[in-house]
Amino acid sequence: MNYKQLGKSGLKVSRICLGSNNFGAQIDETAAIKIILKALDLGINIIDTADIYTHGKSEEIIGKALKGRRDDVIIATKVGMNVGQGPNQTGLSRKHILNQIKRSLKSLETDYIDVYYLHRFDLETPLDESLLTLNDLIREGKVRYIACSNFAAWQIAKSYEVCERLDLEKFIAVQPPYNLLQRGIENELLPFCQQEMMGVLTYTPLRGGILTGKYAKNRPPPAGSRAEFNPRLLERMDKNEYSILENIQGVAKCLGVTMSQLAIAWILRNPIVTAPIVGASSPEQVEENCNALEVKIDDETSKTL
Ligand SMILES: NC(=O)c1ccc[n+]([C@@H]2O[C@H](COP(=O)([O-])OP(=O)(O)OC[C@H]3O[C@@H](n4cnc5c(N)ncnc54)[C@H](OP(=O)(O)O)[C@@H]3O)[C@@H](O)[C@H]2O)c1
């Protein structure tokens, strides 16, 4: 495993981060714990979760799996999505953040979160309120670093302005979606992060499994796959994307690697990205995905992707 500094912080994270949004639903607790332990054996030192994933079960499973080795692992969790119907069960108000950190710490069976993300921008809550709350959590020792997810460059810039004005801790990283089929962040967010030396942990590197080549047009999803569990996954696909997949499959074949490895290696070769956050439904998948670190894609090949 290789490690990289997360933005301007002193934190060193593995170049593959483990995702966990399927733990406790499609993947039961026993299977999820096996996946986590395999990831740690392979040198992965950062696990990504959120208060909202599988109604808190993902955090609980991670808490159980890390018993006795908490301090060796970086836990990243998030707040800000709807966790209930009430008006204060969503967003980035002081009340909601403080309620949710209490729950996350309990579920994760820990007294600190390494990286605490705002899950999405909240247009209704003043940024000052959210950022002052996060700063308090750092001062209290409940959170070590803060980050944001699904923020646009202008929203991070605005947050930085507030932090400078109030002398608060700033986000060290951002978590956007990024993969061979979704490259929107290349125009603005990635150059911004490079300029600001922000860490970038990207999600859905395999587009939920679509980039592994397991799905084909007019064929039912394979048994046990995410799309069988959640048919909405394939509804997002358009005709063009199936032909893009064929091309990716061809390139992977030429390089003698799997499609998953090619998709992950393509992200890893981007110097602005710190690490992709990769989900898995078995320990074997984690191992296959970590081997993407050995895959080299030259400039000519990259242009064909
Ligand atoms: N911040 C946000 O808003 C946000 C949003 C989404 C996700 N995330 C984070 O990002 C993580 C990754 O995203 P994701 O899990 O949705 O998508 P992903 O990493 O693109 O896809 C993971 C899925 O692909 C399949 N897979 C993985 N490796 C494989 C391999 N080698 N061979 C065959 N199939 C393989 C598995 O599904 P099956 O085997 O079941 O088909 C696995 O669950 C999440 O777990 C979560 O932590 C964050």
What residues make up the domain containing 91?
3-206+269-281
In a domain, 211, yes or no: no
Residue 236 has pLDDT above 80, yes or no: no
Question: What one-letter code names the amino acid at 210?
Answer: I
Q: What is the pLDDT of residue 161?
A: 98
Strand partners, 278: 18
For ligand 1, atom 31: residue with the closest CA: 285
44 close to 286: Cβ distance less than 8 angstroms: yes
Check if 51 has its Cβ closer than 6 Å to any atom of ligand 1: no
Q: What is the pLDDT of residue 218?
A: 83
Q: What is the pLDDT of residues 158-172, one digit of tens each?
A: 999 999 999 999 999
Mean pLDDT value of segment 102-118: 98
CATH code for position 164: 3.20.20.100
Q: 187: CA distance to ligand 1 center in Å? A: 24
In a domain, 217, yes or no: no
Residues involved in catalysis = 53
Closest ligand 1 atom to the C-alpha of 225?
A: 41
Mean pLDDT value of segment 193-219: 95
Q: What is the pLDDT of residue 235?
A: 86
Please state whether beta strands 143-149 and 171-175 pair in parallel, antiparallel, or not at all (unpaired).
parallel
Q: What is the pLDDT of residues 23-82, one digit of tens each?
A: 999 999 999 999 999 999 999 999 999 999 999 999 999 999 999 999 999 999 999 999
In a domain, 286, yes or no: no
Confidence of residue 285 (pLDDT cuts 50, 70, 90): very high
In a domain, 247, yes or no: no
What is the residue whose two structure tokens read 């949004």? 21
Question: What one-letter code names the amino acid at 59?
Answer: E
> Above pLDDT 70, what percent of the chain?
100
Closest ligand 1 atom to the C-alpha of 278?
A: 19
In a domain, 235, yes or no: no
Q: What is each CA distance from 184 to 13, 25, 112, 116, 129, in whole angstroms?
A: 24, 29, 33, 24, 29
Choice from 21, 210, 230 to test ligand 1 binding pocket (greatest atom count within 8 A of CB): 21
Q: What is each CA distance from 285 to 10, 16, 42, 99, 102, in whole angstroms?
A: 30, 13, 12, 35, 33
Check if 278 has its Cβ closer than 6 Å to any atom of ligand 1: yes
Confidence of residue 217 (pLDDT cuts 50, 70, 90): confident
Q: What is the pLDDT of residues 251-265, one digit of tens each?
A: 999 999 999 999 999
Q: Label residue 54 left, alpha or beta by phi (over 0 means left) and psi (-120 to 50 means alpha).
A: left
In a domain, 288, yes or no: no
pTM reported for the whole predicted model:
0.97
Check if 228 has its Cβ closer than 6 Å to any atom of ligand 1: no
In a domain, 261, yes or no: no
In a domain, 70, yes or no: yes
Kindly write down the DSSP assignment for every residue of 266-293, as one continuous string. HHHT-TT--EEEE--SSHHHHHHHHGGG
